Amino acid sequence: MNTMRLSRRKSAIIASLIIAVAVITGILGWQRVHNNRNNKQASLTSMEEIPVRIGDVTAAVSALGNLEPYMRVEVKSEVVGKIEKVFVKEGDSVKKGQPIARIDPGDLLFKLKQAEAGYLSARAKLNKLLAGPDASDLAQAETSYEQARISLEDARKQLSRDEALFRTGAISEQQFQDSRSRVKLSEQQFLAAKEKLESLRRGANKEDIEVARAELTQAEANLDSIRSQVNSLTATAPMDGTVTSVEVEVGDLVNEETPLAVVADLTKMKAVVPVNEIDIPKIVPGQQVVITLDALPGQRFQGKVSSVGHEPQIKDNIVTYEVTASIPNSGGKLKGGMTADVTVVLQSKKDVLVVPVEALHERRGQTMVLVPGESGPVPKPVRVGLRNDSVAEIVDGLSQGDRVLVRRVNQETPPGSTSTRAQSGNPFRVAPPGLFTPRTPSGMNMSGQRR
């Protein structure tokens, strides 16, 4: 019996010891985890002293677009017909007026000769009327008149003889009627010769001259129309530039709407970008523009705002306006279609006091910074001027060489958590000092605050 009691007591002691060890181990493990968590949480953020320095601040609006030639013209046919010859190929440099393609003329050249002859005849007729008869014309008219008069007298005398012969039965009735017809014809010829002679003697009348003028005008219009059609057979370059595409081949049928080729001025490019309605009042033609390209990393291209659109573009309840930036392309590096990050410089200040925007804090409507103190960070009011996404101008409250505290977030992120920087969804890129180049449909407001 005693042996059994001793065995039970021994088992209870062992169980108690096991429980005590488990509790102590749990407490120590919880403390270790808690301490590690606190240490990691503390390591996530730290305060860094940053000196107040002299620097530059630039406020800007940035948006994405695509490059295209500043001037691009489709060359079209002005007549219906078949392509007879193509003079250029893609990539050729052309001058204004240089032939691009020619249409088969068909029967237009024959019509042109007819129109030229008609015009010359009408002009000669009018000139003759205006000049009046010359001596040779008058002499010829007088001769024709005299011949017609004599012919009429002879015809009348013959008719008298034939009439007497007809009465005696010496000639037939048919012969007598023929004699009468000759008299009538001679009378008509005499009257015509007489009228022409009298017309020459008195000169051209106003009505004749007006009729001749109208005939000349009509002939000239007809000639101009056919000449224009002939000239239109050859399509020419509308400006100096480069042939960026050729749309037809020999034998193709074309009409007035058919594009034959595209000529573009590649010495200057443009980017048309959407800018938010909030930012559009700040943008005016002539402002400086900086362009960066995905295709040419590390390179910057200078340009200017050439126009600001007035028609709103509404998508998903967001209102934007088109801003066109022009960029010189003397080196030929810029190509149509390249993705362009266009930054419009709104305002810039040089050699001013600046601090990182992370150093600024808002407290009860007052902008503050934290400065090192004997017992820890001390808030200090400041007055802020121009700012962008990376730095802010300090107008009052700090001096060069002062130090401000900036909370830095370490790169290490505990498992299962997300960094504050990633959660913010900030669409801006921090640019090199002196230029703010955010990648966003429309950057920031004039004070540099993110929206």
Give the right CATH number for 266-407 from 1.10.357.10, 2.40.30.170, 3.30.428.10, 3.30.10.20.
Answer: 2.40.30.170
> How many alpha carbons fall within 13 Å on the CB side of residue 404?
26
User: For the segment 370-395, what is each residue's pLDDT rounded down to a tens digit?
Assistant: 999 988 899 999 999 999 889 999 99
Mean pLDDT of the chain: 82
State residue 16's pLDDT score. Answer: 58
State residue 76's pLDDT score. Answer: 94
Q: Which residues contact 131 (CB under 8 A, 6 or more apart)?
A: none
* Single-letter residue type at 386: L
**Residues 205, 212: contact at Cβ < 8 Å?**
no
Residues of CATH 1.10.287.470 domain(s) within the chain? 110-228
Report the candidate in 123, 79, 87 with the shortest Cα–Cα distance to residue 103.
Answer: 79
| Model confidence at 46: pLDDT above 90 | no
Higher pLDDT, 50 or 424: 50
Average pLDDT of span 65-74: 95
Q: Please tell me the distance from the alpha carbon of residue 175 to that of residue 153, in angstroms, as a whole number.
A: 19
Report the candidate in 313, 318, 315, 291 with the shortest Cα–Cα distance to residue 304.
Answer: 291
State residue 443's pLDDT score. Answer: 40
In which band, very low, low, confident or very high, does the pLDDT at 130 lie, cut at 50, 70 and 90? confident
Q: Please tell me the distance from the alpha carbon of residue 313 to that of residue 29, in angstroms, as a whole number.
A: 61
Q: Please tell me the distance from the alpha carbon of residue 197 to that of residue 139, in angstroms, as a whole number.
A: 9
State residue 308's pLDDT score. Answer: 96
Say which CATH architecture domain 110-228 belongs to.
Orthogonal Bundle (1.10)
Residues of CATH 2.40.50.100 domain(s) within the chain? 72-104+232-264
| Model confidence at 30: pLDDT above 90 | no
In which band, very low, low, confident or very high, does the pLDDT at 410 lie, cut at 50, 70 and 90? low
Higher pLDDT, 33 or 273: 273
Residues of CATH 2.40.30.170 domain(s) within the chain? 266-407
State residue 324's pLDDT score. Answer: 96
- Write out the two tokens for 231: 């000239």
User: For the segment 277-304, what is each residue's pLDDT rounded down to a tens digit?
Assistant: 999 999 999 999 999 999 999 999 999 9
Residue 154's CB is within 10 A of a number of other CB atoms, namely 13
| Model confidence at 424: pLDDT above 50 | no
Question: Helix/strand/coil (H, E, C) string of the chain?
Answer: CHHHHHHHHHHHHHHHHHHHHHHHHHHHHHHHHHHHHHHHHHHHEEEEEEECEEEEEEEEEEEEEEEEEEEEEEEECCCCEEEEEECCCCCCEECCCCEEEEECCCCHHHHHHHHHHHHHHHHHHHHHHHHCCCHHHHHHHHHHHHHHHHHHHHHHHHHHHHHHHHHHCCCCHHHHHHHHHHHHHHHHHHHHHHHHHHHHHHCCCHHHHHHHHHHHHHHHHHHHHHHHHHHHCEEECCCCEEEEEECCCCCCEECCCCEEEEEEEEEEEEEEEEEECCCHHHCCCCCEEEEEECCCCCCEEEEEEEEEEEEEEEECCEEEEEEEEEEECCCCCCCCCCEEEEEEEEEEEEEEEEEEHHHCEEECCEEEEEEEECCEEEEEECEEEEECCCEEEEEECCCCCCEEEEEEECCCCCCCCCCHHHHHCCCCCCCCCCCCCCCCCCCCCCCCCCC
Rg value, the chain, Cα: 51
> How many alpha carbons fall within 13 Å on the CB side of residue 325?
30
Q: Parallel, antiparallel, or unpaired for β 300-315 and 361-363?
A: unpaired
Q: Please tell me the distance from the alpha carbon of residue 190 to that of residue 47, in angstroms, as a whole number.
A: 127
Q: Please tell me the distance from the alpha carbon of residue 192 to that of residue 85, in angstroms, as a whole number.
A: 57
Q: Which residues contact 447 (CB under 8 A, 6 or more apart)?
A: 59, 386, 387
Q: Please tell me the distance from the alpha carbon of residue 369 to that of residue 358, in angstroms, as a whole number.
A: 9
Residues β-bridged to residue 304: 288, 326
| Look-up of token digits 């001025």 | 265
In which band, very low, low, confident or very high, does the pLDDT at 137 lie, cut at 50, 70 and 90? confident
**Residues 147, 265: contact at Cβ < 8 Å?**
no
Average pLDDT of span 158-163: 91
Q: Please tell me the distance from the alpha carbon of residue 204 to that of residue 198, in angstroms, as a whole number.
A: 10
Give the right CATH number for 72-104+232-264 from 3.40.50.280, 2.40.50.100, 3.30.465.10, 2.40.50.140.
Answer: 2.40.50.100
275 φ/ψ angles, rounded to the nearest 5 degrees: -125, 135
Average pLDDT of span 47-52: 92
State residue 28's pLDDT score. Answer: 52
User: For the segment 209-228, what is each residue's pLDDT rounded down to a tens digit?
Assistant: 899 999 999 999 999 999 98
**Residues 183, 159: contact at Cβ < 8 Å?**
yes
